[in-house]
Amino acid sequence: MTTLSGITSRRPFTLLGILLALIVMAAFVLVALNASNTNGTPTQAVVVAAQDLQARVPIAADALRTQSIPVPGAYPKVYFQALRDVVGMVPLVAIPAGSAITANEVAKPNQALGAQSEYLPIPAGYVAFTIPTSELQGVANNIQADDYISVIATVSGTGRVADKTIFTNLHVIRVGTPASAANSGANSLTVVVTQCQAEILNWFMTYASLKYTLESFHDYLKDSTQAPDPGCPSINSARGVTLQAVETAYPTLFSA
């Protein structure tokens, strides 16, 4: 026969069992609700990096892919849905592979941070060099980025005047902005040369006058894999320019 004291002594264990059962049931309910909410989260296909993207290097098509990701309501980030919207854009920061690309991480070339938002297209072994220009000097301001030009130097002194084409096929990669609003023409051209050529150009800019001709687009030497010049393979190959060296390289300008 169960006594009243025995029933009283077992009551705490009964209550504990009921409490544990309620906790387990609540856990199952929470898991079920969480699964339901997860399955109900909307997704959208966005552009992600298919490989690590380096800052300041324009994005190629094969470096991108699309992937569906969950997008909670009122999500603050702005994504891209089409690959074409990102191809050619410039990362402002390094973007790891697999990361969704957001609008604040990329910019169009020459926007946001200006020309510094991307690396200049300079082949290995070459440098960018800026030369002055004007309407009469630079083919009436018809020279544009990605054109190729030739450079004519005029040297005068001791009663002699001579002209000589000193460079051809110089690739123009940037055209400078006007000096003022009233001047609609560019005031500079940035070209790709070797460091040795840069020294020669600098010499002629100091001691002679320069004029440019715009080459026919049929003659352009567009080669994105331009090999280093064997005569000046790196910037360390430049050894300086003297009058004697220029006279030897361009005897027509200095012959009697």
pLDDT at res. 223: 57
Instruction: Say if strands 127-132 and 106-107 run parallel, antiparallel, or are unpaired.
Output: unpaired
Between CA 2 and CA 154 the distance in angstroms is 123
Condensed to tens digits (0 to 9), the pLDDT of residues 61-103 reads 999 999 988 865 555 678 899 999 999 998 988 999 999 999 8
CB 188, CB 133: distance < 8 Å: yes
Side-chain half-sphere of 175: how many Cα atoms within 13 Å?
A: 16
The one-letter code for the residue type at 92 is L
Whether the pLDDT of residue 152 is over 90: the answer is yes
Quick: pLDDT tens for 29-44.
666 556 555 556 678 8
Q: Compute the distance between CA of residue 171 and CA of residue 227 in angstroms, rounded to an integer.
A: 14
User: Where residue 149 falls among pLDDT bands split at 50, 70, 90?
Assistant: very high
Distance, in Å, from the CA atom of 96 to the CA atom of 74, rounded to the nearest integer, reads 25
Q: What is the model's pTM?
A: 0.66
**Which residue's structure tokens are 């609609």?**
184
**256 exposure class (CB count in 10 Å sphere: 0-12, 13-18, 19+):** exposed
pLDDT value at residue 12: 61
Please check the confidence at residue 222 and state whether its pLDDT lies above 90. no
Chain segment 180-192, per-residue pLDDT in tens = 555 567 899 999 9
Q: Round to whole Å and give the CA distance between 250 and 238.
A: 18
pLDDT confidence bin for 253, thresholds 50/70/90: confident
The distance from CA 239 to its chain's CA centroid, rounded to whole angstroms, is: 31
Question: Is it the case that residue 45 has pLDDT exceeding 70?
Answer: yes
Place 4 in a pLDDT band, splitting at 50, 70 and 90. very low
**Tokens 């006007």 correspond to what residue?**
178
Query: In the prediction, which pLDDT does 196 show?
Result: 94
Mean pLDDT for the stretch of residues 117-142: 90
Range of weakest confidence among 64-78, 116-130, 137-151, 190-204: 64-78
At residue 225, the 3 state secondary structure works out as coil
What's phi and psi for 111, nearest 5 deg? -120, 170
Query: Residue 236 carries which side chain, given as an amino acid letter?
Result: N
DSSP class of residue 189 equals E
Alpha carbons 36 and 219: distance in angstroms, whole number:
65
Cα–chain center distance at 20: 61
Above pLDDT 70, what percent of the chain? 73
Residue pair 209/153 in contact (Cβ under 8 Å)? The answer is yes
Least confident of 46-55, 97-106, 170-179: 170-179
